[in-house]
Amino acid sequence: MSATMYSETEVVIVPKRRRREQRQGTRPRRAGVLSFGHWWWALPGIVLVIGIHYVATAVGGAYAFTDWTGIGAFHWIGLDNFVAIFQDPTKIGALGNTLFLAIASVLLTNVIGLGLALGLNRLIKTRYALRVLFFMPVVLSPLAVSYIWKFIFDFNGPINAILNSLGLQSWVRPWLADPSFAIWAVLVVIVWQQTGFAMVIYMAGLAAVPPEIEEAAAIDGAGLWQRFWHVVLPAIRPAVAIATTLGIVNGLRIFDQIMALTNGGPAGATETLATQVYKQAFSLGNFGYGAALALLLALIILIFAVIQQRLTASRPEEA
């Protein structure tokens, strides 16, 4: 005897596979709504996605093994582009900057975002207005935001004006052209803009945590930190997985902010793989070399995404 039970909704939308699964004593109904359609109806969409996305990407990736300049003929040169990348200190520096910005931004945005989400989850009366304020930077254009920050960091901008007015002339500097500070200035802008996104994900996660469990833990004598570490954090593990995965992917391919703030300068101090891909392929006419950099970047994003998913995935016993 089959133990399968259907809700009224399931009866309507799920097609019946076997007649004997029908509940006894009920009249057979017409086929469910889901049977109205065939898998091959999706074929045009599948073909377009494969053709436009995957085939185009694969063809672009193939140029990584050529010396194509963007015009005219090209030669297959095997792995020469990749050898050149790893022998060039500026590209190793760009790789280091890419990893630094990705890891630092994902750590900072998630820690601050989680803190904001916890703070604005309950109790505070103005939490709705504060949520909007903290989320606002996310909806703004990264390019527009970066130009505003460029003005703030400018030699004649407000930061140096404040320092001058406080008598701290020795601290005044061209922040975005200072080799020691430029990368940190870029990081500040990225974190400022993306923290709101992490906050919203964590707020959605926290909304699913029943207050009763926290109350029970509190009654059992758990402190604030213990309640967070042993009750809340395990409960929002899926939110952590989503926020950190998106954060690391966005951090690895960061582009707009750097192009607007520093253009990779001073003298390459803030170059990343993404900015190098653009410059090599489109500004300097080394399309094959740029494609090799892009392939490398895609590979790094894939590796980090997989590692990060493994780290934050729910353990089987918790499922």
Query: Is the backbone peptide bond immediately before 158 cis, with ω within 30 degrees of 0?
Result: no
Considering the complex, what minimum distance in angstroms separates the CB of residue 176 from other proteins?
5
- Judged by beta carbon, residue 183 or residue 236, the one nearer other proteins is 183
In this structure, what is the dihedral angle of CA atoms 155, 106, 254, 304, given to the nearest 10 degrees? 150
Alpha-carbon torsion 33, 34, 38, 44, what sign? positive
Identified binder of other proteins from the candidate list 146, 275, 286, 308, rule CB under 8 A: 286
Q: Which is nearer to other proteins, 84 or 235 (CB)?
A: 84
**Residue 179 interacts with other proteins (CB under 8 A): yes or no:** yes
Distance CA(5)–CA(265), nearest Å, equals 65
Q: According to the binding rule CB under 8 A, does residue 266 interact with other proteins? A: yes
Q: Is 167 helix (H, G, I), strand (E, B) or coil?
A: coil
What is the spatial distance between Cα 222 and Cα 293, in angstroms, rounded to a whole number? 51
- For residue 207 the two structure tokens come to 């909304």
Choose among 57, 55, 77, 59: nearest CA to 67: 77
236 phi and psi angles, rounded to 5 deg: -105, 20
Q: Are 159 and 181 in contact (CB under 8 A)?
A: no
In the bound complex, what is the minimum distance in angstroms from residue 280's beta carbon to other proteins? 9
Q: Would you tell me how many other CB atoms lie within 10 Å of the CB of residue 202?
A: 24
Instruction: Check binding of 161 to other proteins (CB under 8 A).
Output: no
Rounded-to-integer distance, Cα 61 and Cα 293, Å: 10
Binding to other proteins by CB under 8 A, coded x per residue (else -) over 24-63, reads ----------------------------------------
In the bound complex, what is the minimum distance in angstroms from residue 165's beta carbon to other proteins? 17
Quick one: which of 119, 137, 238, 265 contacts other proteins (CB under 8 A)?
265
When asked if residue 176 is in the footprint of other proteins (CB under 8 A), the reply is yes
What is the per-residue binding string for other proteins in 121-150, x denoting contact by CB under 8 A? ------------------------------
93 belongs to the binding site for other proteins (CB under 8 A): no
Cβ distance to other proteins smaller for residue 25 or 72? 72
The answer to whether 70 contacts other proteins (rule: CB under 8 A) is: yes
- What is the rounded distance in angstroms from the CA atom of residue 252 to the CA atom of residue 250? 6
Q: Which stretch in 16-24, 170-178, 197-205, 239-247 sits in contact with other proteins by CB under 8 A? A: 170-178
Interface with other proteins by CB under 8 A: which range of 70-78, 191-199, 240-248, 308-316? 70-78
Q: Any idea how long the chain is? A: 319
Q: How far is CA 318 from CA 160, 212, 234, 314, in A?
A: 52, 20, 9, 6
> Please, what is the end-to-end C-alpha distance for the chain in angstroms?
29
The answer to the question of residue 155 lying near other proteins (CB under 8 A) is yes
Q: Which residue among 269, 273, 292, 301 contacts other proteins (CB under 8 A)?
A: 269
The span from the CA of 122 to the CA of 120, in Å, is 6
Q: Which is nearer to other proteins, 262 or 272 (CB)?
A: 262
Least separation in angstroms between residue 72's CB and other proteins is: 3
If binding is defined by CB under 8 A, does position 67 make contact with other proteins? no
Residues in contact with other proteins by CB under 8 A are 69-73, 154-156, 174-179, 262-263, 265-269, 279, 282-286
